[in-house]
Structures are given as structure tokens and as C-alpha cells.
Structure 1
Amino acid sequence: MSNKAKAINGAKWTTISTVVNTCLQFGQVAILARLLEPTAFGLVSISTLVLNFLSIFAHFGFSNSIIYKQESDKNILSTIYFLNIMVGILMFIVIYFTAPLLVLYYKEPELAEILRLAAFYFPIVFLGQIYNILLEKELQFKSLALTEIICSVLGTSITIYFAYQGYQAKALIFGLLSAQFLKMIIQNIIARKYFFPSIHFDLSKIKEHLRFGIFNIGESVISFANNNLDTIFIGGFLDVKQLGYYTIASQIAVYPVSRLCPIIIQICYPIMAKIKDNLGQLKNAYLKIIDFLTFCNIPLLVGLFLMAENVVPLIYGPGWEPTVPLIKIFIFMGIFSCLVYPLSTVAYSTGKPNLLFYLSLVMLVLKFPIIYFASNYGILGIAVGFLITSFIAVILNFILIQRMLGSFMKPFLENLSKPIMFSLSMVVVILLYRQFIGNLGLVHTVIQIALGGAVYGVLTLKYKISFSELKSLRSSL
């Protein structure tokens, strides 16, 4: 099977996985919003913050280095496997015994118990991590997608069950751990044909992987600070309830982007690593990735901007109205995220992860004073400050892409013009409906969403992709 065929097949399965998981996530949040207090979402947001931070040090950048180097040496993989397990246990110990220190900062006594429960995430995940990496390396996207779907169904079911039983924030942690445990079991079963660990541990043999990961880890640490300064400031300077509103707004507005973009990158990076010596093909691949991401996400985000006042009370119930202005700010951040997501793929494919490190460092220097100043204006001020820094990141992102791939702006802008124009047409139709027919309520909301989708779909078939191309794509699937 050619790389193009593998990419199409991977896109098919990851699209199915993304649609299912997105529906599950929105359904879960809609149910939990009626069962849990905003504080519960804030507590879980803090514990997730801690897990994500320590995960940076736990994987040493092995995921990217194994794929980039197309590693297959059994001794090297065995060393990485056992190192992962040891680090996973270490991360568990660190979280378990330092949880009280975070309680002092966030002033939430319940947080210690939540963190200690969440700490089990690490020994579970790192028993299966290398198998997940190898499945990506071998482009086994069907297996990855089906695993994600099965585990998401289990995690969502368990979360909702325990939420109904009154476990509040713990319900979300139980769901997370159960999904990760099942995922680890499945990974160990289906990927054993690519690697079975031998009793071998020699750090000297993975020096190149560790060296590759140095900039990866440095960039990840700084990116973590860049991406989570808002959460850190809100939780510490305001309160956990405000963080709960902020978390829900982010999940509603940024979730489609945060789900779709990494999966597309997951498909494309192993393929781009195989063509890393052909600059022309890399540029073409980058343009196709960013065209796909913007074409799929921009209409969803624009539609959400228009429908936020309708959607929030209908889906999440009363009490979540403070999320509406936050959602509208996050929508622009979602669009900016679409534009910067492919940068990491290009940097790793060209063997220049150091550029990501320098970009993240510059952004942190700019972002910290902006967010700190914006925190004086409350939760909305922090959101606006984060939006400003996201726009600066887009500009710097394009400068780096130009440096790595050469001139690309003309075809990029040509591709970008279509989703923008189609989305504006969608907006006009929805506004006309509101003006002459109606707006609020379930029926009007459903009709407006259907109208917007129909307009975008018709324009896509007319000016973006024809029926014959769709048939050709279907036959390739």
C-alpha cells in the first residue's frame, strides 16, 4: 500500500474515531454539567494540568525520535520500554507525596485526594506507551482508532455512572483511569508482533534518542507553560469555580480543534518522516494538512460563535451562562490553533525540533507579562490576553515555516479563502433566518444549524470538491 493510500485509510479510521469520541465527549459534558458543580471541573482541570506537566519528562521525546529514526532495534526498544516503566512509577510517587503542596497554592483540600487517585495514570500508561508509538510508526491507524473508540465508550460510561452515584470530581478520574487501563491492555495485545521486550537495559544505546529528546522536552516544558498560564493564574488568583467555567468554555470551543488536529498530525507525521529528504513533497504535504484543518474547523467554530447563546442553555442547562462570552473568545483561539498545529510536524520531519524550543521560549517571555497584566481584569481579561498571544504565535509560526519550507503564503491564502468565504455565506443565511423567522428555542436552533451546514456543504461541492472526486475518494477507501 502506497503512502497516499495509507494516509487515506488512516484518515478514514481516525475520522470515524474522532466523530465517535467527540460525540461521547460532548454527551458526557452535557450530562455532567447537570450532575457536577463547576468546582468539580476545576479540580479535575488542575489534576490534568499536573499529569500533563509530568508526562513531558516521562516520555523523553521517544515518540518523535522512534518515528523519525524508524527505530526497530529490539535492544534499544527494550531499554526504552523498561525506562518508561521506571519513570512511570517515579511519576506516581512524585504526585502521591507532593499533592499537599499543590493544595497550599490552590487552597482546595479535596485536591490532594484527587491528585493521589490520578497518580495511577502513569504506571498504567507507560506499560503500553511504546506499543502505541510502534503502531503509529507502522501506520496501523485502524487499530489505533478502534482502540480509542472502545476505550472512550468505557471511560465515558464509567464517568457518568460514578457521577450519578455522587462521586463528583472523582467520577472523571475513575473514567480516565479505566479508559487508560483498557487501552494499555489492548496495546500490549495487538502490538506484540512488532516488539516483545527482552531482558536488556543499556542507556548507552539510546543516547541518540535522548539527545533528540532534549530539545523536545525543553520545548514541551515551555509550551506547557505557554498553554497553561491561564489555568494556573485562574486557579491560583481567582478560584476553582471560575476555573470550572473556563474549562467548560474551552472544551466547547477548542475541543473540536484539539481532537481533530492532533489526530491528523498523528497520521501525517510518520508519512512525512518517510519523505523528509524531499523538500517539495514536504511543502505540499504541509499545505494539504493546513488546508484540511482549516476547511473542517473554521465552519464549526464560526457556527458556534453564532449559536453559543442557543447551544449552552439547551445542552448544558442553567447556571453555565458565564461560559458564553468565554466561548466566543476561545473560538478565535481555535482558529489560530488550526494554523499553528502543523508546525511541529514540519519541524520534526526536517530534524529541527530546536526551532520549536526557541519559538516556545520567545512566546513564554511575551506571554507571562501579558497574562499577568490581563489577570487584573478577571477571567475574561485572561482569556483576551491568551488570545493576543495566540495571534502573535501564528505570525511567528509562519516565519518558521517559511524558513524551513520556503515560500508558501500564496497557495496557503488561496486555500484559506474558501473556508472563510463559505463560512461568511453561512453566517448571512443564518442571520437572515433569525431576522425574518426566529432564533431561540430548540426548533430554531436545529434549523439554523442545518441551514448553516447545508450552505457550507453545497458551496463545498460546487467550488471545493466535486461529486466525481468524492466517488474517487470513496473507491479508494
Structure 2
Amino acid sequence: MSLKTSVITSLIWKFLERIGTQGVSFIVAIVLARLLSPADFGLIAIVTVFVTMANVFVQSGLNTALIQKKNADNLDFSTVFFSCLALAAVLYMGLFFSAPFIAEFYNNQSELVPVIRVLGLMLPLGALNSIQEAYVARNMMFKKLFYRSVGAVIPAGIIGVVCAYLGIGIWSLVAQQLSNAFLICVIMWFTVKWRPSLAFSFERWKGLFSFGWKLLCSSLLDTFYYNIRDLVIGKLFTPADLGFYNRGDQFPKLIITNINASIQSVLLPSLSTVQDDRVRLKALARRSIKTSSFLILPMMAGLAALAQPLTLVLLGEKWLPAVPFIQICCFSYAFWPIHTTNLSAINAVGRSDVFLKLEIIKKSYGLTILAIAVYAFRSPLGIAMSAAITAPLGSFVNAYPNKKLLDYGFAEQMKDFLPSFFLSVAMGATIYLGGNFLTERLNLAPILLMVVSAVVGILLYFGLAKVLHFECLDYLIKTIKEWKFKSNKADLEK
């Protein structure tokens, strides 16, 4: 199978996995939002930050090193597996004993203590399947991840909804997340053939760690930075305020997770296979930015334009304060195609040192802007705005090293990014102004307004892309036709 065919097939399965998983999670989240209060979501967001930070130690750095290493064998995988499992146990004990201090810091909210101790069990569960995920990604067996994710998220969602209906509040969110992690472990164990051997090599660990520790530090910085707003809002304002911010972030993040994360999860192993061929590396990076921008940007613009009717239809009137957070987060996430493509390319060529330096630079000015926003605005909305300010700056910082590494600098990347950006802005402005006009003149119901605006937006965006001869649209159509033809041919040969 050619690299292009392998990438496209893997991308489709990864995309289906994200669509299936996030689609079910999204529906469950909507039901839970109607059954639970914003304060419940705010409290669980605080706990999730600490669990996520601890989980970075377990599932980052060494796992990526396994994917990047050319000749990784079972000894490498077993070594990383046992080291991750041991680390997860230590980190869980740390969370268990620090839970009372965390609760005291967040205005003596004692209900956080048992929640932290129970939800922290996700750490050893994550360690159990993290190496299987690396094995699957390295061998581009993303079909298995589809069955795993969908098979876990549906029963976990049912458990969460039933618990919420029974009135146990925040514990329904705990039950949903914990059962999902447990089911993922069980399914991965039976669907992935890899098993750890009773072997550990300190030399192999040192070799992998020499690459992975920089990624680990980068991931820690990145995770802390992207969750610090939750921590600050949770400390300075009410749990309900944090709930509105958290839900406002959910909608654009869902799109990013489904599309951009699917592309990037396939991109790293693909780039790693041609890491010595700079011409092909640049071609793959350009294709990633063009394709992900063309697909993601109109969704961000459309979501920002329709944030109010979408919130009314899906979450209800009590969640309307989340609307401006949705719009701000849409702008911030619009720049992710540039961020993640550049970082994947840097990882693929083995320059984790450059990756770490970039993260330090970005987080330094990002935290400075956040501190200014906290002092100047003293509101959750102002804190969210700080992310929108730093997003365009991060694009330039991430692109800078690839001028030398790939001969693909910021100016050339903007030439690939801006056509989709401007077309998306035009489409978003059109449906926003048109939606206001229809609401004032015809008093359309929110759900009707959403449907009409979405159809108009899709037709306008793809129609203009066709008229303006967007290369990316032609490429996507051609690629889909080729993949469909090869799939049909393979079926006939069977």
C-alpha cells in the first residue's frame, strides 16, 4: 500500500472514530447539561484539570518516542509500559493525599475531595492502554481505535445519563468518565494483539527518554497553559461561571477534536516515515495545513455566527451566558491547523528540543497576557479573550523553525491558510447578518434559523470555493474518488 493510500485510509478510520466518539459524547453532554447545573460542570472541570495534568506524565513523551523511533521492538514497548504503570500508581497516590488541600484552595469546597480520589483512578487505567495506542498509531491500525472508542463511549454515556436522572449530580459525570476509561482498557486488551513481556531495559528507557522528556515537558506546559483559565476562573469566580466557560469551549473543541486531531494523529507517523526526505515532508505539511484549514475554518465561523440559536436549541436558556465564550473559543481554535502541523513536523524530524523551546516561548508571553487580562478585566470573559489574543501569535512562533527545517516559513504558510480564512469570515458574516434579519422580520424559531443558516452557509462556502477554483477542494474531490475506486476494486478482487 502506498504512503498516500495508507494515510487516507488511516485518516478516514481516525476521523470516523472521532466522529463516533465525540458525536455520542456530544449527545450525552447535551442531555447531562439539561439534567445538571452549570455549577456541577464547573466543579468537575476543576477536578479534570488536575487529573489531566497528572495523566500527561503517564501518556506523553515516551509514547510519542515509540512512534517516532524507526526500529522500536517489543522490548521498547514493554519498557515504556511498565514505567508508565509505575508512574501512574505514584501519581494517583499524590492526588489522593493532596485532595483536601486542593479543596481548601478552591474556597473550601469539600465535595471535591472524594471526586478527586475517585476520578484519579483514570491514571492507572490510562497507563494500561497507552502503549496499545502507541502500537496502533505506529502501525497505522486506526480501524481498531474506531471499534474501541465507540464501544466504550456508548455504554459509558448511558451510565452517566441514568445516574444524572437518578439525581446524584456531579457523580454522574464521574461515573461517565471512569466507566469510559475502564471500558477502553478492556476493549483494547482484547482487540490489540500486543502484550507486554516481562522485560525492562534501562538502556532502552534512557534512549527513549532522551527524546521523550522534551515532549513530556512540552506537553506539561501545553496542558497547564490550556487549563490554567479553568483554574483561574474556578478560583476567582463561581463554579457556575466556570461551567459556562467550560461548555462554551466544548462546541468548537468538538470540531477540532474530530477533524484536526484526526489529521494530526495520522500526520505524525506519516511524517516520521519520510523524516529524511525534506521535500516530501514539506509537501505533507503543506497538504495538512491546506486541508485542515479548508475544513475547520468554515465550521468555526459558522459556529460563532450561530452560537445563540445553537445554545437555545441544545442546552436551553439557562446556558445563554456561554454564547460569548463559544464565539471567543471559535477564533482561538481557528489557528490550530497551523499550530499542530508545524509541531508534528518538528517532532517527525526528531527535534524535540526545538519543540520544547517553542512551548516555553509561547507559554511565557501567553501567561503574561493572561495575567494582564485578569488584572485589567477581572471577568471570566476577559480571561477567555486572552486566549484569542495569543492564538495568532502562536502561529508565527510555531512556523518560524520550519523555515530552516522544511523550507516552509510563516509567509508561505499564510498563503496556504488565508484563502480559507477569508472565505470563512465572509460566509460567517453573511449567515450572522442574514440570521439577524430573518429573526427580526420573520421571527423564526431558533431550530429553523439554524437549519436555514447552515444550508445557506454550506452552499455559499463550497460554491464560492468552486467558483474561485480553490485547489484544496479539487484535491479533496479527487482523493475521495480515488479512495472510493480503490475500495470498490478491492471488494471486487475479494
**TM-score category, normalised to shorter length:** over 0.9
Q: What is the match of residue 320 of structure 1?
A: 319
Q: For 1:205 and 1:409, how far apart are their aligned partners in 2?
A: 37
Q: Secondary structure of 1:197's partner? A: coil
Instruction: Report the CA distance between 1:3 and its aligned residue.
Output: 1.5
Q: For 2:331 and 2:127, how far apart are their aligned partners in 1?
A: 35
Q: For 1:439 and 1:334, how far apart are their aligned partners in 2?
A: 32
Q: Secondary structure of 1:144's partner? A: helix
Instruction: Report the CA distance between 1:71 and its aligned residue.
Output: 4.3
Q: Does 1:336 align with 2:344?
A: no
Cα pair distance change 1:268/1:369, threshold 3 Å: closer
Cα pair distance change 1:388/1:413, threshold 3 Å: closer
Q: What is the match of residue 179 of structure 2?
A: 178
Q: Give identity over the alignment, percent.
A: 22
The answer to whether the 8 Å contact 1:226/1:360 transfers is no
Q: Secondary structure of 2:413's partner? A: helix
Instruction: Report the CA distance between 1:272 and its aligned residue.
Output: 0.9
Q: What is the match of residue 200 of structure 2?
A: 201
Q: What is the match of residue 413 of structure 2?
A: 412
Q: Does 1:474 align with 2:484?
A: yes
The answer to whether the 8 Å contact 1:89/1:122 transfers is yes
The one-letter amino acid paired with 2:102 is L
Q: For 2:424 and 2:364, how far apart are their aligned partners in 1?
A: 35
The one-letter amino acid paired with 1:148 is S
Q: Secondary structure of 2:335's partner? A: helix
Q: Does 1:155 align with 2:156?
A: yes
The answer to whether the 8 Å contact 1:310/1:440 transfers is no
Q: What is the match of residue 46 of structure 2?
A: 46
Q: What is the match of residue 90 of structure 1?
A: 90
Matches within 5 A, 1:2-17: 2-17=2-17
Uncovered stretches (5+) of structure 1, i.e. residues with no partner: none
Q: For 1:325 and 1:400, how far apart are their aligned partners in 2?
A: 34
The answer to whether the 8 Å contact 1:439/1:445 transfers is no
Instruction: Report the CA distance between 1:128 and its aligned residue.
Output: 1.8
Q: What is the match of residue 384 of structure 1?
A: 385
Q: Secondary structure of 1:314's partner? A: helix
Q: For 1:60 and 1:11, how far apart are their aligned partners in 2?
A: 21
Moved more, 404-413 or 306-315: 404-413
Q: For 1:15 and 1:48, how far apart are their aligned partners in 2?
A: 25
Cα pair distance change 1:424/1:128, threshold 3 Å: closer
Deviations 1:185-233 (A, max 9, x none): 22222222xx332222232332101111221122122222322221121
Instruction: Report the CA distance between 1:345 and its aligned residue.
Output: 0.8
Moved more, 283-292 or 362-371: 362-371
Q: For 1:469 and 1:206, how far apart are their aligned partners in 2?
A: 40
Q: For 2:372 and 2:79, how far apart are their aligned partners in 1?
A: 46
Equivalent residue in structure 2 for 1:450, among 442, 449, 455: 455
The one-letter amino acid paired with 1:279 is R
The answer to whether the 8 Å contact 2:347/2:355 transfers is no
Matches within 5 A, 1:9-408: 9-59=9-59, 61-107=61-107, 108-192=109-193, 195-376=194-375, 377=377, 378-408=379-409
Instruction: Report the CA distance between 1:331 and its aligned residue.
Output: 1.1
The one-letter amino acid paired with 1:234 is I
Cα pair distance change 1:428/1:211, threshold 3 Å: closer
Cα pair distance change 1:382/1:410, threshold 3 Å: closer
The answer to whether the 8 Å contact 2:15/2:258 transfers is no
Q: Secondary structure of 2:199's partner? A: coil
Moved more, 242-251 or 84-93: 84-93
The one-letter amino acid paired with 2:55 is S
The answer to whether the 8 Å contact 1:95/1:116 transfers is yes
The answer to whether the 8 Å contact 1:429/1:451 transfers is no
Q: For 2:437 and 2:60, how far apart are their aligned partners in 1?
A: 55
Q: For 1:244 and 1:11, how far apart are their aligned partners in 2?
A: 33
The answer to whether the 8 Å contact 1:371/1:385 transfers is yes
Q: For 2:485 and 2:464, how far apart are their aligned partners in 1?
A: 23
Query: Matched residue pairs, number?
Result: 475
Instruction: Report the CA distance between 1:155 and its aligned residue.
Output: 2.1
The one-letter amino acid paired with 2:48 is T
Alpha-carbon RMSD across the aligned residues, in angstroms, is: 2.1
Uncovered stretches (5+) of structure 2, i.e. residues with no partner: 488-494
Deviations 1:282-326 (A, max 9, x none): 111111111121111111111111111211111100211111111
Moved more, 146-155 or 283-292: 146-155
Q: For 1:111 and 1:16, how far apart are their aligned partners in 2?
A: 35
Instruction: Report the CA distance between 1:276 and its aligned residue.
Output: 0.1
Cα pair distance change 1:198/1:445, threshold 3 Å: closer
The answer to whether the 8 Å contact 1:226/1:363 transfers is no
The one-letter amino acid paired with 2:178 is L
Instruction: Report the CA distance between 1:54 and its aligned residue.
Output: 0.9
Q: For 1:438 and 1:414, how far apart are their aligned partners in 2?
A: 41
Cα pair distance change 1:429/1:385, threshold 3 Å: closer
Deviations 1:398-421 (A, max 9, x none): 212323211445653443344234
Moved more, 52-61 or 456-465: 456-465
The one-letter amino acid paired with 2:244 is Y
Give TM-score, length-normalised by structure 2: 0.91
Instruction: Report the CA distance between 1:171 and its aligned residue.
Output: 1.2
Q: For 1:336 and 1:468, how far apart are their aligned partners in 2?
A: 26
